[in-house]
Amino acid sequence: FERDAGGRQNGVVREYALGQVAGRLADLTSVADELAGLSHQIEAGARWGLTTIQDMPACGSVARQARLLAQMPSPIRIRLTRMNCTTPTGPDFDQNRDVGPHPSRLVSVNGTKWLLDGVTFEGTLTPRGTGLAQTAAARGPGSPHDLAALPALFPPAVVEAMLRDGLRRDEQLQFHVYGTPAAAELLDAMARTGGAAVWRGRRLRMEHGDGLTPALLRRARAMGVVLSQQGTHLDIGAIDRGLLPGLLVRMRAARAEPLRSALTAGMPLALGSDGPLNPWLSIAGAVSDANRPDEAISRTQALLAYTAGSAFAEFTEGDRGRLIAGRLADLTVLDRDVLVVPVSALPDTHALLTVVGGAIVWDAHALPTSGR
């Protein structure tokens, strides 16, 4: 909660405070409206060919999501990860612990995610009054729009406490890490809590990881970190062209925001959608990578990261992520060959048929019916 020079709240809320406000506003929404919104989102996912959604509801929303999904059984698999709030004394480690691991069919609850910083192009840490239409000087080195200077939200001791809590509970941890300072802070804390010997097999997830430099990438790879990136992050110009002049120059000079380099180094890569649910928009971003074209990956690599990579990132690679005999029959039939159509046509991709566990959950009625 932002305060003025006199210590009074000025009405601006950021990051975790915003999550708490959003949670209170959600409490005012009727169950009928919540169910309608959730149903619309899940149906949209099935139409795009999604068979699994990994959802990270903010600040107490895991319990709400679990209750809603029990009332409206989801046709596709959903993994809910706790993204707990903070308290006046620090992170709330015990929030949502009363939600069971399998609240309803196809729904699982496990893991905890923490936000270690903001995102430059969202302007969440930008001083009030400047907004995204800042001057070139305000966007320069050392500003909240500089990957190398985006401040971490917590001191090192708190990040270490988050890691120790995850070890104590034996659960997977996910950290929103966008800037370089937060990435370094997290890796330093991992080193202090056991290093590679402790973390290599735990698949700690770095969500975004844009600020990873080559040196930090090597450290993350050594500790078994999974890079969970979103293709929509890879085209800043599509979000705010005003950020391009300085941010991209510094990003490229630092060789940050790795994608191809992560795969080359042997780092596990998972692709996701973040805000826009459309997976094909994210894949289009990954295969073009407007921010760093030299880091673009192939369509096959992008598809593998979205399927097998995402399954690995949630410890389910033994059941899903690849079409192999004996694994779950989760698959989709698309309306185009995504390996050959122009990149510009990828975001318009839709499923003709989506199957989860052998059951048809979306049918566009465009395939021959004989033999079904």
- Please give the model's pTM, rounded to 2 decimal places: 0.92
The span from the CA of 34 to the CA of 71, in Å, is 11
The span from the CA of 346 to the CA of 259, in Å, is 19
The span from the CA of 143 to the CA of 136, in Å, is 10
Residues 6+ positions from 101 with CB-CB distance below 8 Å:
108, 109, 110
Q: What angle do CA 9, 12, 16 make, to 5 degrees?
A: 100
CA distances from 314 to 79, 99, 142 (A): 9, 18, 35
Q: Which two tokens stand for residue 240?
A: 């705010």
What strands, in cross-sheet order, belong to the sheet with 331-334?
331-334, 351-356, 359-363
All structural domains of the chain, each given as residue ranges with its CATH number in brackets, are 116-325 (3.20.20.140)
**Local confidence pLDDT in tens for the 372 residues of the chain:** 888 889 999 888 888 888 888 888 888 889 999 999 999 999 999 999 999 999 998 876 898 999 999 999 899 999 999 998 898 899 999 988 889 999 999 999 999 999 999 887 666 666 555 444 444 444 555 555 678 888 899 999 999 999 999 999 999 999 999 999 999 999 999 999 999 999 999 999 999 999 999 999 999 999 999 999 999 989 877 766 666 667 788 888 899 999 999 999 999 999 998 878 999 999 999 999 999 999 999 999 999 999 999 999 999 999 999 999 999 999 999 999 999 999 999 999 999 999 999 999 999 999 987 655
Q: Which two tokens stand for residue 259?
A: 């994608």
The span from the CA of 330 to the CA of 127, in Å, is 46
pLDDT for 137? 43
